[in-house]
Structure 1
Amino acid sequence: MPKSFFADMHIHIGRDMFNNPVKITGAKTLTLTNVLKEASRNKGIHMAGVIDSHAPAVQQEIKKLIGAGHAHELDDGGIRFENVTLILGSEIEVYDENCRGPLHVLCFLPTLEKMEEFSEWLTTKMKNITLSSQRYYGTAKQLQYKVKELSGVFIPAHVFTPFKSMYGKGVHQSLREVLDPDLIDAIELGLSSDTMMADQISELHAFTFLSNSDAHSLPKIAREYQEITMEEPSFKEFYWALHNVDDRRIKRNFGMNPHLGKYYTTVCSQCLEPLAADAIKCHQCGSKKIVKGVFDRIQELKSTEKDNKDRPPYLYQVPLEYLPKLGPKTFTKLLEHFQTEMNVIHYASLDDLKEVIPEKLASSIIDMREGKLSIKAGGGGKYGSVTTS
């Protein structure tokens, strides 16, 4: 009988085991080993997609963990470390003759051997294999064919963000302009959109939606994630869940209210003044540099008002660190008492919480769980904020 597991499938590596940068903007503490420990011990998620696994030094660290007996490869794909399964992924920047702006995609492979083969192929298509999210020189469809040749999973990343995404800057009206839809396994929504927003675009109705963190630091892991019904956390079960095979499925998406995303509203990129969707220049500072928000971009693209009733629920949630007056000491107390952040967010009762933290803060956690927190919208690269009563 399938069980439920929490998964965040978009986590970066900041530094490799030799302290060399992988994701330039990633935190230095964001090493592979630290990611796995944080996911297993503190976050309480069961599956972690590390999307810089193409880097040779990251693969070397995985082999070191396996050699030391701290991790092992699963027969159905993935690498088990304590209570979390590592799924090997790579985020790649595509900009071929069909792209009128660069876009990011996620490629997941079932085994370390397959990922090493993928990396070897990428060295002929990429200038620096050691870094994250590098420009790939080839067509998007060629990349899809290679991923499928290696029995992998292909997912367009954060498809609505203004920069480096499928629908981003207004240049693409359809994913068919760049990609083969038959070789897409799922769509990653990104922090400024949710299921209801994305389902206004009819060509997306055929795809499973994922909500992932795109974490650039340890605390950001699982700021968005999903609950997946599987037999166990493995690559094969993940693939089956994306395609609804034998009761495997995405059960619930958990994500921040889109208003909290840093690209939800259209704003002036200079002074961050909120602007109308059709604004040509900022009425506040006069700048013509405008970042179109995800909400307005989806309004341009939308082709239907129809709700997709078959979708799993998308539940608004924020990481505990977003809650006002929940500082590091309080966070540590909660973890000491409830073990993981998932336990605090999903399972601790109000009475249980009040035994550890002040009643007002305990109530805020319950309000957050129920999607009742007040939100101030973000835009232009600035995150929104949470307010509590």
Structure 2
Amino acid sequence: MGLNQQNNESSSGFRSLFNRSAAEVQRKKPGQPPGFLQHTGEQKLEAMRMTVHDYDANRYDSFTIDALDPTAAYMRPSSKTWIQIQGLHDITQLRKIMDYFELHPLVQEDIVSINQRPKVEPYGEVIFVVGRMITARQEGDATELKSEQVSLVLGKNFVLSFQESDDPLFDPVIRRMLVANTRLRRHSIDFLTYALLDNLVDHYFTALDFINETIESMEERVLDQPDPSDLQSIHALRRDLIFFRKSVWSLRDGINSLIRDDSPLISPEIKVYLRDVYDHLVQVIDSVESQRELVFSLYDMYMSSLSSRMNEVMKVLTVISTLFIPLTFIVGVYGMNFNPETSVWNMPELNWAFGYPAAWGLMLIIIASMLYYFKRKGWF
């Protein structure tokens, strides 16, 4: 679901998606020509990393490279190759890779602009996919929601993946590739694209589970002992879920276009698997909507708890004030100090030996009577 740290970290150790530096949300200057390459994120790696995953049903090779070698075996048309690129700050090296695969200038621009809306777009002989990986990761004593743009380019016999960090987002897919003669190894390259998208969507459920646990723990705190920091966390969760919904909704529309539209790069067999991804995205959207309703109810619950506590405080203060009203009257009357020697009606109690204890006794009887009456009425 992230959201300056003081404002967006709750007492439960939750950090939202909006706890980001200014470098992560910068944009290119207005008026730049289409296809202008500018990395709008932050440099998370010292150098760009490229990992080649070359495979077929019975063979799998994985190795890192410093630059593309057009004569290498993994570049042959008969090879199924996934090139995993981590680090988007080296524009010069990225341009060489993207130009080699003849990616459209707008695709190149979107890859290095990390604030893109998730989408699926065909560009000539490739399909360009922008997704957003949202994960819940442990960072010290806090669990933090992290968001990262992931770009995929599907070609006839290759897949390119681009991400800013070296976060092991696709490790589950890589582990599956190690097993010989699996569907992932037997099928064409479009099945790998499905597997990467499915892995991305699976992480959404993990993030939603964390957000749900956060909502439940926050609900207990709000009911038991509401704190001003809880209100900040509620607003942070609300913004996270809006961001989550926008990301998932756009990706769902993109997956639907892959299923609906005819493309030589997506076989009918793979569209069956993509429908499963689509169904999962619908489930995620339903869960996000449910959690948004819970967060809205959390706000109402927080305000009701504060109001209830305030009413309890006001009730106690009112009882105390009410108890002292007759006592103040008695003290005020006997504070007038009329001379009893002038008239028998001028406070004869002033010369009475038990006048002071009697005044205290009267006040205590009044207090006890009022407390008994309040208790009978159920006012406290």
Structure with greater Cα Rg: 2
Shared fold, TM over 0.5: no
Instruction: Name the TM-score, length of structure 1 as normaliser.
Output: 0.27
Q: Give the TM-score normalised by structure 2.
A: 0.28
- Structure (1 or 2) with the greater helix fraction: 2
